[in-house]
Structure 1
Amino acid sequence: MRHALIRLFRLLKVPARWHVLKPDEAVYEITKRKFHNLLQGAAPSGTELSESDRSRLAAWWLVNVPHLEKSFRWATEIVIDDYQPSGLIPFIRAINPSARIFYRSHIHIRSELIAQPGSSQRRVWDFLWGFASYATRFVSHPVKAFVPAEVPARQVAYAPATTDPLDGLNKPLSAPQQRYHLDRINDRLKSLGQTPLDLSRPYFAQVARFDPSKGIATVIESYRLLRLRLRREGVADERAPQFLLAGHGAIDDIQGEEMFRWTREEAQRRAPDFAADIKAVTLPHSDQALNAALAGSLAATQLSDAEGFEVKVTEAGLKGKAVVGTRVGGIALQIQDGKTGHLIAAGDAAAAAAHLYRLWADAGHRRRLERNVRARRSTAITVYNALRWLRLARGADPD
């Protein structure tokens, strides 16, 4: 979404730059497990931000100041994109006191856990808020519960995560292009020791990182329940739908490979009779491959246990696909229950299985949802994203 936003700003003659911090795997270990997972309520009990963690972060932020200082000086507005660069805010204030700083919060912050005195979430939030409190605005996904009580109401602005209808993730693919990318997915599956996706059979898809918050256990259990129902009804295995779990990695997601291995092991443990039809694949960075994975599916799922504003739900909608999602975070705003998809409680595999069954068995129901999806115009796309940031830059609220 950032590539598309910067391209649009340049077309509009808005001088915008996107900077990336110097990579450090030891820092990513801290930020993933002790910021991201803790604030989303997905970290194991006892996870704490230690003094050595704080020192490592401080050293990393200091290393990043020199190569960003020139931009800090000329910019009138600076966006701090989530918690990782939050420690740069005091440096920006010292270098360019007049700059307007926007702290962009991307995740599902569990404010109710932060509100508990003495909780791990309380301690890590206090650490981050010590930097973020110096920002001009706190920009959250459009869910009030994501904003902890310490953030003054006058500082809060709401804006969803966005995607772009014209980039590789969403642009329409021709039939040969679609087949090419699905074939590459199958090549990857075979390289991982799995049988390829049978393209003569339908499949459901969840496109997401392999992450503790993405509800992968619910995906596997719901698929097991679906297949047991089909077996009871006498549906031959070769007619049954498959399930594709696909995602990219990220340089700062040090849990991706660990969660991918867990996914494959969990499928074998929990659904041994059907594990061969649960295709779990980490893909090289190709937007078109993820596009093809969603576009070729019967319908999509997003069964997250915690979620900010899930861009993959928006992208499924741009392809006219119904989504079965959990009623958590921003997903509840993205799916119109019974009209463009179905909403269920987090972890309710039985409900998910029932909706998947109907989407497979009742083509009329599925097509009705798809018509509703195509008729619904999304504002979670680049043009609206650009307008929101320009309004914020002028001192207004984004919407």
Structure 2
Amino acid sequence: MHNAPTEEKTVTAYDSYLDDRQRRAIRDATDALVDVRVAHVNSTASGGGVAEIVGSLVPLLNDVGVETDWLVMDAHTEFFDVTKAIHNGLQGEKSEFTDAMHETYRPVVVGNATDLDEAYDVIVLHDPQSLGMAPTLAERYPETTLVWRCHIDLTAAAPPFLEFVQSYLDPIDRAIVTLPEYGEGITGVEKTVVHPAIDPLTEKNRALDGLSGDAADAADLESYPFDTDRPLVVQVSRFDPWKDPLGVIEAYREAKSSIPDAQLALVGAMPDDDPEGIVVYREVKEATRDDPDVHLLTNHPDAGINALQRGADVVLQKSLREGFALTVSEALWKGTPVVGTNVGGIPLQIEDGENGYLVEPTDIAATAERITRLLTDGTRKRRFGERGREMVRERFLLPRLLVDYLGLLSDVSRSSAQR
């Protein structure tokens, strides 16, 4: 494993996003966490929502006095092939967890856990990639509290993959899930619900007039391949079957029959821990090669994503399954209405008919109709945007996540002291 760098952040910079209750909670929790040392462990330092969350949370924990490191696993391509299959199985894909997959997975997690040469009071392991480190860590550091943060919706997990997760949970002292139902299929571990959040001060989410230099250049939509004077529909997601990019294209084309000027941008990163991404990208590219109004944008800087989410007339999140979808809160924070599917954590963020629309995941006609409705009703679009931004301010910004984690760390530290 290796330490991932983080930007310096201070809680005072977020003062306008904190209320008095949260300020008190931060003070009380940090008083209880003196000398507690924490590590967050995940599989990549960039390219996904987990990395974004941890990269913003860790420096704030340090700023309030909780010494915290961010550790990233060292792993090879074959390992990520296996963990992608695990991810798909946990989201409901019917396949087998083979002996060969376990033989690829286990040496990597054991090796990373063995390489850890510092002791921590609490280690937070993120998702299935790092879960397998738990037995080795428990053996090497029996006094350490181990927390597993599962960002995945487990409600339809294929049995072999749920059994895989269960087989590593004995050493885990606490599991964190996004919704209560996500944890119903696992047993023998106490569970805590924590909703994800976005960082309003990163280049991806701050106001565009706060950007400068290369970030400001990346946020200039005039340099992008579409026409900024025509309606623009955007989905920001990995090129992943669960994000249903081919379904997005279908819905866009149906909406385009009513709004011929409409354009579509599919915007996605190619993270190291998702080897399936390039395969899906090629499928989407082939499906759209004859349509000059569909634009595939990959690995754009955060400032570019920011500008795209603000410049879009409608943002889609047409996931077939979804843990949370930070991209929904990102778009709503920028005052852009979202048409999202009624799966996973998306309904936590979209109030149907209030700040966006919810549709069933395979309902192309309804998705197209909602896109058309927003593209043809500027008043509704503005109203949804205003409500969406306020909802995110109240529920899904980083300071609230900091308070939640401080409370969790205080709780598990007390429980550890009582053992």
Cα 1:98–1:179 shift into 2, 3 Å: closer
Match of 1:217 in 2: 246
Match among 349, 354, 357 for residue 334 of structure 1:
349
Match of 2:229 in 1: 200
Match of 2:115 in 1: 67
Whole-angstrom CA distance in 2 between matches of 1:308 and 1:261: 25
Match among 307, 324, 334 for residue 322 of structure 2:
307
Cα 1:384–1:40 shift into 2, 3 Å: same
Secondary structure of the 2:264 match is strand
Cα 1:164–1:174 shift into 2, 3 Å: same
In the TM superposition, residue 372 of structure 1 has moved relative to its aligned partner by 1.4
Secondary structure of the 2:266 match is strand
Match among 267, 274, 296 for residue 311 of structure 2:
296
In the TM superposition, residue 133 of structure 1 has moved relative to its aligned partner by 3.2
In the TM superposition, residue 359 of structure 1 has moved relative to its aligned partner by 0.9
CA deviations 1:241-261 (Å, max 9, x no partner) are 211110111110101111111
Match of 1:57 in 2: 105
In the TM superposition, residue 38 of structure 1 has moved relative to its aligned partner by 1.2
Match of 2:91 in 1: 40
In the TM superposition, residue 322 of structure 1 has moved relative to its aligned partner by 0.7
Secondary structure of the 2:292 match is helix
Whole-angstrom CA distance in 2 between matches of 1:162 and 1:102: 19
Whole-angstrom CA distance in 2 between matches of 1:366 and 1:38: 37
In the TM superposition, residue 179 of structure 1 has moved relative to its aligned partner by 7.2
Match of 2:67 in 1: 15
Match of 1:371 in 2: 386
Match of 2:131 in 1: 86
Secondary structure of the 1:132 match is coil
In the alignment of these two chains, the number of paired residues is: 358
- Deviates further, 289-298 or 305-314: 289-298
Would you say the 8 A contact 2:222–2:228 is kept in 1? Answer: no
Whole-angstrom CA distance in 2 between matches of 1:149 and 1:38: 14
In the TM superposition, residue 92 of structure 1 has moved relative to its aligned partner by 1.4
Match of 1:117 in 2: none
- Deviates further, 57-66 or 339-348: 57-66
Secondary structure of the 1:164 match is coil
Q: CA RMSD in A?
A: 2.1
Match of 2:167 in 1: 130
Whole-angstrom CA distance in 2 between matches of 1:81 and 1:251: 16
Letter in structure 2 aligned against 1:212: P
In the TM superposition, residue 375 of structure 1 has moved relative to its aligned partner by 2.8
Match of 1:118 in 2: none
Whole-angstrom CA distance in 2 between matches of 1:2 and 1:156: 20
Would you say the 8 A contact 1:247–1:281 is kept in 2? Answer: yes
Residue segments in structure 2 that go unaligned for 5+ positions in a row: 1-52, 414-419
Letter in structure 1 aligned against 2:295: K
Q: Is 2:191 the counterpart of 1:156? A: yes
Whole-angstrom CA distance in 2 between matches of 1:78 and 1:396: 11
In the TM superposition, residue 149 of structure 1 has moved relative to its aligned partner by 2.9
Whole-angstrom CA distance in 2 between matches of 1:175 and 1:244: 24
Q: Is 2:273 the counterpart of 1:252? A: yes
In the TM superposition, residue 180 of structure 1 has moved relative to its aligned partner by 2.8
Whole-angstrom CA distance in 1 between matches of 2:253 and 2:194: 37
In the TM superposition, residue 68 of structure 1 has moved relative to its aligned partner by 1.6
CA deviations 1:90-114 (Å, max 9, x no partner) are 11111121221111001122x34x4
Residue segments in structure 1 that go unaligned for 5+ positions in a row: 115-120, 188-195, 231-236
Letter in structure 2 aligned against 1:157: T
CA deviations 1:58-112 (Å, max 9, x no partner) are 1112221233232xx2x11110111101111011111121221111001122x34
Letter in structure 2 aligned against 1:259: V
Would you say the 8 A contact 1:247–1:290 is kept in 2? Answer: no
Match of 1:380 in 2: 396
Q: List, as ranges, runs of 4+ consecutive aligned residues in structure 1 with deviation greater than 4 Å.
A: 175-179, 182-187
Whole-angstrom CA distance in 2 between matches of 1:140 and 1:130: 18
Secondary structure of the 1:320 match is coil
Whole-angstrom CA distance in 2 between matches of 1:186 and 1:51: 50
Match of 2:262 in 1: 241
In the TM superposition, residue 379 of structure 1 has moved relative to its aligned partner by 2.6
Match of 2:18 in 1: none
Give the TM-score taking structure 2 as reference length. 0.81
Secondary structure of the 1:394 match is helix
Letter in structure 2 aligned against 1:139: I
Secondary structure of the 2:71 match is coil
In the TM superposition, residue 175 of structure 1 has moved relative to its aligned partner by 9.7
Whole-angstrom CA distance in 1 between matches of 2:397 and 2:222: 27
CA deviations 1:336-366 (Å, max 9, x no partner) are 1000000000111111111111111111111
Q: Is 2:217 the counterpart of 1:180? A: yes
Would you say the 8 A contact 1:185–1:289 is kept in 2? Answer: no
Q: Is 2:390 the counterpart of 1:390? A: no
In the TM superposition, residue 176 of structure 1 has moved relative to its aligned partner by 8.7
Whole-angstrom CA distance in 2 between matches of 1:340 and 1:326: 14
Letter in structure 2 aligned against 1:348: D
Letter in structure 1 aligned against 2:276: Q
